[in-house]
Structure formats: C-alpha cells, structure tokens
Amino acid sequence: MSSARDALAARRSRSKVTDAAPSHEEILAAAAVAGRVADHSSLHPWRLIELRGEARARLGEAIARAEASDSPSTKPLRAPLLIAIVAARKPSTKVPHWEQDAVASGVAHMLSLLLDEAGWGVMWRTGHYTRSESVAAMHGLGDDERLLGWLYVGGRLDAKPGKGDGAPKLLDAERFVSVLD
Ligand SMILES: Cc1cc2nc3c(=O)[nH]c(=O)nc-3n(C[C@H](O)[C@H](O)[C@H](O)COP(=O)(O)O)c2cc1C
C-alpha cells in the first residue's frame, strides 16, 4: 500500500477506459474509507449513486432532454461505471450548505484517489446539464440534493510509452501558498 502522499503524487485522470469495472462491493469498501474526510458535525451530507449498464443510457436520454436534443447523449457510455456524487444537504443551524458541499466534494476526491490507487481509471466529469431538472429526476434526487458530477470509472488501458506513463509533475506550490505572520 502506498502512502497518501505517493498515491496523490501519482494520481492522474484517465479519459479513456476499458469495459472492466470495480464491483459494488469494491465501491462500498472505498466509500467507507472516503467518508472518513473531515465532516463538521458529522452530518454525512453526501451520497453516491452507481450507474451501470442501462442506467447510463437513461442518463444519456435525460441529458438529451436537458439539451432539447432529439438523440440521446452517448457521453455516459464512455465508461462502464459512473458514480454520481450527490451533495445531500442536511438541516443544520450550525453548518451552512457550502461547508456541507465541501464535505461531499472531499469524499469524491478521496474516492477518486482510492480507485486510482487500486488501479482503476477514473475521471471526474460534469457538463452544463449537471444540475438540470431532467438529470436530477433521472437520479431520483430530493429537493435538498445537488449533483456535483460523476466519477467515470473503468479499466486502465495499457500505457503507451511516453504517453501518460510517467509520474505527473508536481505543482510549483510557491504560487499558491502565502504566509501571514
Ligand atoms: C468538479 C469537477 C468537474 C470536472 N468536469 C470535467 C469535465 O466535464 N470535463 C473534463 O474534461 N474535465 C473535467 N474535470 C477535470 C478532470 O477531472 C481532470 O481533473 C483534469 O482533466 C486534469 O487531469 P488530472 O486530474 O490528471 O490532473 C472536472 C474536475 C472536477 C473536480
């Protein structure tokens, strides 16, 4: 098992994946760990929805309705498994929605990292239709739930030499970190 530092330094998004996909049990195991992110008042303001098989085609139809298009979108078919990230806002006088959404986003990043570390290809995707009514209805979202997009998950293609097979470059953190004293 790699350290969190090593896993994050090596992580990269994979836009093209094969038809292999992690099982529901693997997603449950990864979600149990991803849900360990800091969570103000432990509200657990998130949930995940796995879209497999025909559900991806139904999402394509919902996207078409959002776009007033005659033909279903084929975008959801780009991976065998889509994991919808839902910010499930809970009633709280102490924790505002933006803090709750930060927790849901954190869970998605951690889940993405864990799946990448386990050898799967992952890419977080959205679109201008992400918060459309038809897409919300297709997922069965409640009034206090908002989609943050989908993790597209599948098997990794063999890396072509020289293409995406090296360690990603780390950021020049001096640009993003300042000090007040
Ligand atoms: C909330 C969110 C939504 C995103 N939506 C898209 C998207 O719709 N299309 C896309 O090409 N990349 C999208 N990205 C960016 C990719 O997931 C990925 O991070 C980016 O291509 C950079 O690659 P890297 O993760 O290997 O550094 C999104 C990322 C986040 C966090």
**pLDDT, position 163:** 62
Q: Do the domain assignments include residue 167? A: no
The 3 state secondary structure assigned to 93-139 is CCCCHHHHHHHHHHHHHHHHHHHHHCCCEEEEECCCCCCCHHHHHHH
* Domain tally, the chain: 1
Closest Cα to atom 20, ligand 1: which residue?
13
* Residue 106 structural domain: 15-156
Give the position, in ligand 1's atom list, of the atom nearest the Cα of 109: 31
User: Which CATH number is 45's domain given?
Assistant: 3.40.109.10
CA distances from 33 to 22, 29, 106, 118, 148 (A): 16, 7, 12, 13, 19
Q: Do the domain assignments include residue 174? A: no
Those residues with Cβ within 8 angstroms of residue 56's Cβ, 6 or more apart along the chain or in another chain: 76, 77, 82
Give the position, in ligand 1's atom list, of the atom nearest the Cα of 127: 8
Ligand 1 contacts CB of residue 132 (under 6 A): no
Instruction: Determine whether the annotation assigns residue 120 to a binding site.
Output: no
**pLDDT, position 14:** 97
Q: Do the domain assignments include residue 58? A: yes
Ligand 1 contacts CB of residue 134 (under 6 A): no
Testing ligand 1's pocket by substitution, the residue of 59, 107, 123 carrying the most ligand atoms inside 8 A of its CB is 123
What is the ipTM for the molecules in this complex? 0.98
Q: Do the domain assignments include residue 125? A: yes
Q: Do the domain assignments include residue 8? A: no
Low-confidence ranges of the chain (pLDDT < 70): 1, 159-165
